[in-house]
Every structure is written in C-alpha cells, then in structure tokens.
Amino acid sequence: MSTTLVKVGPWGGQGGNPQDIDVLPDERLTSMTIRSGDVIEAYVDTAGNDYTTDLWGGGNGSFTKIELGDDEYVREISGTYGPYDNVLNLVTSLNIIVTNVASFSFGNAQGDTFSIPVENGGQIAGFYGRSGWLIDAIGVYIHP
C-alpha cells in the first residue's frame, strides 16, 4: 500500500469545530462507529493500532459499529448534506461500502449528494470534518 495520503472533501457545512485525526494513518481503517437518527450525529474510528478518534458530535440516535475483517477495506462513501432543524448544512446521510462484503446506510437522504469512490486498489484510511452537536461536514483520507 502507498504511504501517500490524499485528503478529499469535506462535504457539508461550516458549523461546529474542525475534527481531524492526530496521527495520519499508514494502515487501513479497521473499525468505525457511527451514531445516527434523522441525520449523522456522531463518529469515531480506528485505523490499526495507530490512532483512535474521540467521539465527534453527540445526539441521541443509535450507535452502529462496523468492524472490518483482515481482507476488508472501505472502498466508497457517499451521502447527502443539507438543512436540518434550523441548521443550514449538516451531513444528513452516509453510505459506506466495504469491499464486496457489505454496505451500510445511515440517516435520511436529503439535500445535495456527494460520492467518493476509490479505484485501482486504493482505500479510505480515515476521516476528518466538522462537528458540534451533530456532524456538520465530512471528508476522507485515501491511500491511492
């Protein structure tokens, strides 16, 4: 795998505070936890033993933990962002495709769409964005 990372995005609004990983991942993403209800409320991830993020966001939706097997990786994310509950732009939905094994969908698709497919053996290695009480914006780190 390449040691070069490409930072793509973010999509969403300018609210909340910037969120990023403290250590740039040199391994694949091994797990992520997403809290969602009507919109994407919170996010935390782990890449190998290199880093674990703190909880980004809050809310009171349901937590879903996605753990990737040894041969699995995130090959695409997509979703929507738009207004919600008097906030101009939040991440309203998120779809995560893990190799050919599974896909996961969160939130309610409403607003503008975004899609980040990764080709030629690349993979999504981590996320960054903005959050307050909810996830305002999301972007990705890609190992090309």
pLDDT tens digit sequence for 3-59: 688 899 999 999 999 998 877 776 678 888 888 988 888 877 665 555 566 677 777
| C-beta of residue 80 within 8 angstroms of C-beta of residue 111 | yes
Exposure string of 100-117, with b = 16+ CB inside 10 Å and e = fewer, is eeeebebbeeebeebebe
Q: d(Cα 22, Cα 39) in Å, to the nearest integer?
A: 26
Q: What is the mean pLDDT of the chain?
A: 85
pLDDT tens-place string over residues 9-20:
999 999 999 998
Domains of the chain in sequence order: 6-138 (2.100.10.30)
The closest of 46, 60, 140, 132 to 94, measured between CA atoms, is 140
Quickly tell me which residue has 């993403």 as its tokens: 29
Q: Report residue 1's pLDDT band, with 50, 70 and 90 as the boundaries.
A: very low
pTM of the model: 0.86
